[in-house]
Amino acid sequence: MIDVLASVVLLLGAAFMLVAALGALRLPDILMRMHAVTKAGALGVGLIAISAAMLFDDVSAVTRALLMVVFVFITLPVAAHVIGRAAYFSGVPLWAGTVADELRPAIERRRGRGGQGDG
Q: Per residue, what are the HEC states of the chain?
A: CHHHHHHHHHHHHHHHHHHHHHHHHHCCCHHHHHHHHHHHHHHHHHHHHHHHHHHCCCHHHHHHHHHHHHHHHHHHHHHHHHHHHHHHHCCCCCCCCCCCCCHHHHHHHHHHCCCCCCC
Domain carrying residue 102: 2-112
What residue ranges of the chain have pLDDT lower than 50? none
Report if residue 119 sits inside a domain.
no
Report if residue 41 sits inside a domain.
yes
- CA 64 from centroid of its chain's CA atoms: 21
Q: What is the reported pLDDT for 71?
A: 95
Q: Are 69 and 9 in contact (CB under 8 A)?
A: no
Report if residue 117 sits inside a domain.
no
Q: What is the reported pLDDT for 98?
A: 79
Report if residue 70 sits inside a domain.
yes
Q: What is the reported pLDDT for 115?
A: 53
C-alpha to C-alpha distance for 111 and 89, rounded to whole angstroms? 14
- Say how many domains are in the chain: 1
Report if residue 43 sits inside a domain.
yes
C-alpha to C-alpha distance for 57 and 27, rounded to whole angstroms? 40
Report the predicted TM-score, pTM, of the whole model to 2 decimal places: 0.78
Q: Are 62 and 56 in contact (CB under 8 A)?
A: yes
Report if residue 10 sits inside a domain.
yes
Report if residue 106 sits inside a domain.
yes
Q: What is the reported pLDDT for 23?
A: 93
Report if residue 118 sits inside a domain.
no
Q: What is the reported pLDDT for 104?
A: 83
Q: What is the reported pLDDT for 117?
A: 54
